[in-house]
């Protein structure tokens, strides 16, 4: 448990994940019925950009620091504005803090919606609980998020979203994620799920995505259209140094999400680029060839 998200808060990887989270929650809110938000790896909720960690590793300066005052092209605005407005509301006097996934949900969700936050790190779970203990919509648990997901679904609200955002400290993180996810999706196939994974190893990420998509389509009868992948890399993925790429796989995304992301990603990739070989992709995590093979089986 060495990972501290404070070193990375507001970097390019957070931006894509939190952009997707914002758009998914906004879409769920379009109907009056209450929704449940489940965050398996919550962190501390919000991050002080003047903290020691953020000062020592100012990844946010190459991330959210480049977005807030940028001139955003028309086609990218529908996707980016809800996310950026939330950060602006949180920072009326200039960028000082960055919302983690719990804070994004807490700011977007309504009185009758509910949030279940899991954080295993002892001190971080206390910080998280302190932040939300007066918010009746929120339950914080110091608990293994992987084990929690399956136990927490289906929620009574029947509509909602599960975010799975592990630290990727462990070499087997993708396998743990796949195992937890399969248990949960089997029990609650209509929930929206957002899985974050790094692109340190493109082959491993592609294998996870394709394996998950294959299982969802063949075993759960999920329509291939209900699986979406969005990745962003800020320089050549083979380059040395800090994380160069990351993204999310979304199961049961809002039908509007793909178009919104495709509108924003070219500008986002250009703006957040840190070197040659940067890029993005928004696709179904499954090639047309894979789908044809499935149809032949
Ligand atoms: C990438 S951070 C989460 C960031 C957060 N979701 C956000 O977007 O603001 C991962 C968090 O998972 C916590 N963690 C690690 N293993 C865990 C586990 N098995 N269950 C729950 N939390 C865990 C870490 O302490 C860390 O705070």
Domain spans, the chain: 5-296
Contact 244, 63 (CB under 8 A): no
Q: How far is CA 174 from the centre of its chain?
A: 15
For tokens 């995590």, name the residue. Answer: 285
Taking residues 274-291, report their average pLDDT: 87
For residue 104, how far is its CA from the centre of ligand 1 (angstroms)?
A: 15
Q: Which residues pair with 46 in a beta bridge?
A: 99
Share the mean pLDDT of the chain: 93
Ligand 1 atom closest to the CA of 5, numbered from 1? 2
Contact 213, 205 (CB under 8 A): no
Contact 16, 180 (CB under 8 A): no
For residue 103, how far is its CA from the centre of ligand 1 (angstroms)?
A: 14
Taking residues 253-258, report their average pLDDT: 97
Query: DSSP 3-state assignment of 98?
Result: strand
Q: Is 93 an active-site residue?
A: no
Instruction: For residue 191, name the pLDDT band (cuts at 50, 70, 90).
Output: very high
Nearest CA, atom 4, ligand 1? 43
Give percent of the chain above pLDDT 90.
75
Residue 42 has phi, psi (to 5 degrees) of -85, -30
How do residues 12-71 score in pLDDT, each as one tens digit? Answer: 999 999 999 999 999 999 999 999 999 999 999 999 998 888 788 789 999 999 999 899
Give percent of the chain above pLDDT 70.
98
What is the model's pLDDT at position 204? 85
Nearest CA, atom 8, ligand 1? 101
Q: Which residues of 16-31 are buried (b: 16+ CB within 10 A; e: fewer)?
A: bbbbbbbbbbbbbbee
Nearest CA, atom 9, ligand 1? 100
Q: Which residues of 156-183 are buried (b: 16+ CB within 10 A; e: fewer)?
A: ebebbbbbbbbbbeeeebbeebbebbbe
Residue of 19, 47, 102, 120 with the most ligand 1 atoms within 8 Å of its CB, for mutation: 120
What is the model's pLDDT at position 295? 66
Pocket lined around ligand 1, Cβ cut-off 6 Å: 1, 3, 5, 39, 41-43, 100-101, 118-121, 124, 144-146, 165-167
**Catalytic residue selected from 39, 129, 165, 231:** 165
Nearest CA, atom 17, ligand 1? 120
For residue 145, how far is its CA from the centre of ligand 1 (angstroms)?
A: 8
Nearest CA, atom 3, ligand 1? 43
Ligand 1 atom closest to the CA of 102, numbered from 1? 9
Question: Does residue 297 register a pLDDT over 70?
Answer: no
Query: How far is it, in rounded angstroms, from Cα 26 to Cα 47?
Result: 22
Pick the CATH number of 5-296 from 3.40.1380.20, 3.40.50.150, 3.60.15.10, 3.10.310.10: 3.40.50.150
Residue of 148, 167, 193 with the most ligand 1 atoms within 8 Å of its CB, for mutation: 167
For residue 290, how far is its CA from the centre of ligand 1 (angstroms)?
A: 33
Contact 36, 157 (CB under 8 A): yes
Q: Give the closest residue to 39 by CA, choosing from 136, 91, 110, 104.
A: 104
Taking residues 264-289, report their average pLDDT: 93
Whether the ω angle into residue 154 lies within 30 degrees of 0, i.e. cis, is yes
Ligand 1 atom closest to the CA of 21, numbered from 1? 8
Residue of 83, 122, 165, 166 with the most ligand 1 atoms within 8 Å of its CB, for mutation: 166
């Amino acid at each position: 448990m060495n990972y501290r998200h404070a070193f990375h808060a507001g970097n390019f990887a957070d931006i894509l994940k939190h952009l997707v989270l914002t758009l998914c929650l906004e879409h769920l809110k379009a109907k009056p019925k209450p929704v449940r938000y489940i965050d398996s790896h919550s962190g501390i909720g919000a991050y002080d950009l003047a903290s020691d960690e953020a000062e020592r590793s100012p990844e946010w300066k190459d991330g959210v620091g480049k977005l807030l005052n940028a001139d955003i092209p028309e086609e990218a605005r529908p996707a980016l504005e809800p996310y950026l407005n939330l950060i602006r509301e949180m920072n009326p006097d200039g960028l000082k803090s960055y919302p983690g996934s719990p804070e994004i949900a807490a700011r977007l969700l309504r009185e009758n919606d509910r949030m279940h936050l899991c954080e295993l790190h002892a001190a971080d779970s206390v910080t998280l609980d302190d932040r939300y203990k007066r918010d009746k919509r929120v339950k914080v648990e110091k608990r293994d998020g992987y084990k929690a997901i399956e136990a927490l679904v289906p929620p009574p609200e029947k509509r909602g979203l599960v975010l799975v955002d592990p630290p990727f400290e462990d070499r087997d993180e993708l396998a743990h994620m796949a195992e937890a996810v399969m248990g949960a999706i089997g029990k609650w196939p209509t929930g929206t799920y957002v899985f974050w994974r790094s692109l340190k190893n493109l082959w491993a990420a592609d294998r996870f995505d394709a394996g998950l998509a294959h299982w969802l389509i063949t075993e759960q009868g999920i329509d291939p259209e209900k699986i979406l992948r969005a990745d962003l890399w800020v320089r050549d993925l083979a380059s040395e140094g800090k994380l160069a790429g990351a993204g999310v796989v979304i199961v049961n995304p809002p039908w509007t999400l793909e178009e919104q992301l495709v509108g924003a990603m070219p500008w986002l990739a250009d703006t957040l680029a840190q070197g040659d070989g940067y890029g993005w992709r928004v696709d179904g995590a499954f090639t047309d060839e894979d789908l044809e093979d499935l149809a032949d089986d």
